[in-house]
């Protein structure tokens, strides 16, 4: 597959940054153009009690702030990056922009929600995969979620004492290191 245009939606999260880094690697390999996109969700329920002029001013400020954040990210790269901020439903706008930009690949992250969180909140990534006019590369977070491990009674016992008193458990540790 030849890549000429890569779309990278971002919500400015750590996971989205990781997807952006993957897209940069692909763009450099394929000499493709990158469009970094941020979709501002329209929360109409937030605006109901607000005067139209105040609402318009707030929307302008949000849009400007998002543009500045995207441009800051793009300016730090050696590869030329285009940026775009739009208002709307993230899934709809990502697919619409992908179509209009003649995107060959969308590179995006997933937050890895499962169970009830996924059922109630849905997944923009999942909806984009179903609706996109092109291929979608999903980048998962590198940092696995830590498993909860019950602490044994023996370890709890040693936690009750100061570190100097349990230094004998690890011969490489000295009491001096604990006292510093």
Looking up residue 74, the CATH number of its domain turns out to be 3.40.50.620
**Does 144 map to a domain?**
no
- C-alpha distances (whole Å) from 160 to each of 98, 154, 172 are 58, 10, 21
Query: Is residue 87 in some structural domain?
Result: yes
- What is the 8-class DSSP label of residue 10? -
**What residues contact 152, with CB distance under 8 A and at least 6 apart?**
none
Domain count, the chain: 2
Confidence (pLDDT) at 117: 47
pLDDT of amino acid 121: 44
Per-block average pLDDT, block size 10, for the chain (180 residues)?
Answer: 92 90 92 94 62 78 92 90 94 95 92 52 79 90 53 46 44 41
pLDDT at 1: 76
pTM beyond 0.75, yes or no: no
Residue ranges making up the domain that contains 64: 5-139
Phi, then psi, of 15 in degrees rounded to 5: -65, -40
157 and 87 in a single domain? The answer is: no
Shared domain for 42 and 89, answered yes or no, is: yes
Q: Are residues 168 and 127 in the same domain?
A: no
pLDDT at 70: 93
């Amino acid at each position: 597959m030849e890549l000429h245009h890569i779309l990278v939606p971002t919500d400015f999260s750590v996971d989205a940054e990781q997807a952006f880094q993957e897209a940069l690697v692909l763009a450099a390999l394929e000499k493709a153009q990158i469009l970094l996109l941020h979709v501002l969700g329209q929360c109409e329920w937030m605006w109901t009690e607000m005067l139209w002029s105040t609402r318009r001013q707030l929307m302008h400020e949000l849009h400007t702030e998002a543009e500045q954040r995207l441009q800051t990210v793009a300016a730090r790269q050696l590869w030329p990056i285009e940026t775009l901020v739009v208002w709307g439903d993230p899934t709809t706008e990502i697919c619409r922009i992908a179509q209009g930009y003649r995107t060959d690949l969308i590179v995006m992250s997933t937050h890895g929600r499962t169970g009830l969180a996924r059922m109630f909140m849905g997944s923009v990534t999942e909806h984009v995969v179903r609706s996109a006019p092109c291929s979608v590369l999903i980048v998962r977070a590198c940092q696995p979620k830590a498993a909860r491990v019950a602490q044994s009674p023996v370890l709890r016992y040693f936690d009750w004492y100061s570190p100097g008193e349990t230094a004998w458990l690890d011969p490489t540790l000295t009491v001096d290191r604990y006292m510093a």
